[in-house]
Amino acid sequence: GAVVSQHPSWVICKSGTSVKIECRSLDFQATTMFWYRQFPKQSLMLMATSNEGSKATYEQGVEKDKFLINHASLTLSTLTVTSAHPEDSSFYICSALAVTSYEQYFGPGTRLTVT
Amino acid sequence: GQQLNQSPQSMFIQEGEDVSMNCTSSSIFNTWLWYKQDPGEGPVLLIALYKAGELTSNGRLTAQFGITRKDSFLNISASIPSDVGIYFCAANSGGSNYKLTFGKGTLLTVNP
């Protein structure tokens, strides 16, 4: 149990376009999901906290207009990278907080490459 | 902000050897967690610690939540080649936000 999926697993897009990444909790409900970014050989950096039915909370330095987060249901959160640039190329990982245990389960990540 | 100082940054060991890594902080945390990340994958939870002084095992892995609540260590005994990966400590300071702070990771290489 406690499986989190992400789609797509990798994506290549052109500079200036937008990309949507989905995060789903497959067998549990999550009122809270988190979005992280990880650059090569670095740790996970929290970008934002996504709460079902309300606005996301962004960490300092993360542009909310560039990284749009929607958490429309208890099992799905989406991250849209708008007007992507090469510097947005990174590994994006989501995690879901199980409402019953309050443990965080991580997705497999999405590799974004902006050309 | 809160930071976790994880060491060592990397380790090269022979198969069968024991490994130890640790995380320290100047801040107090209520939960310590240890994750393993394989290349191109998300982190997988290895051990979660919820009480100061708690010592928990998961197979060949043992972790402890420091009594001061500012540190934690992870030991791996009798390492095997599949232990290769990056190990991260993470901690949560409590409250209702459940946000995790991550250490910078320890890259473990096991020579068969």
CB spacing of A32 vs B98 below 8 angstroms: yes
Residue in A32, A93, A103 nearest the CB of B42? A93
Structure tokens at B61: 């892995």
How many Å apart are CA A72 and CA A42, to the nearest integer?
A: 31
Is residue B92 a contact partner of residue B28, using CB atoms and an 8 Å limit?
no
Q: Dump pLDDT digits (tens) for A69-95.
A: 999 899 999 999 999 999 999 999 999
How many Å apart are CA B99 and CA B103, to the nearest integer?
A: 13
How many Å apart are CA A105 and CA A102, to the nearest integer?
A: 10
Summarize the confidence of residues A43-66 as an average pLDDT: 93
Q: Dump pLDDT digits (tens) for A17-46.
A: 999 999 999 999 998 999 999 999 899 999
Q: What is the CA radius of gyration of chain A?
A: 13
The full DSSP string for A70-106 is: EEEETTEEEEEE-S--GGG-EEEEEEEE-TTT--EEE
How many Å apart are CA B61 and CA B77, to the nearest integer?
A: 7
Q: How many angstroms away from the CA of A15 is the closest CA of chain B? A: 23
The full DSSP string for B36-61 is: EE-TTS--EEEEEE-STT-EEEETTE
Residue of B nearest to A58 (CA): B99
CB spacing of A108 vs B42 below 8 angstroms: yes
The gap between the terminal CA atoms of chain A, to the nearest Å, is: 37
| Residues of chain A contacting residue B45, judged by C-beta atoms under 8 Å apart | 103-106
CB spacing of A34 vs B99 below 8 angstroms: yes
How many Å apart are CA B50 and CA B65, to the nearest integer?
A: 8
CA B111 to chain centre: 21
Residue of A nearest to B44 (CA): A106
| Residues of chain B contacting residue A111, judged by C-beta atoms under 8 Å apart | 40
How many Å apart are CA A19 and CA B41, to the nearest integer?
A: 20
Residue in A43, A102, A106 nearest the CB of B105? A43
How many Å apart are CA B51 and CA B43, to the nearest integer?
A: 22
Please report, in tens digits, the pLDDT of each residue of chain B (112 residues total).
578 999 999 999 999 999 999 999 999 999 999 999 999 999 999 999 999 999 999 999 999 999 999 999 999 999 999 999 999 999 998 777 789 999 999 999 999 8
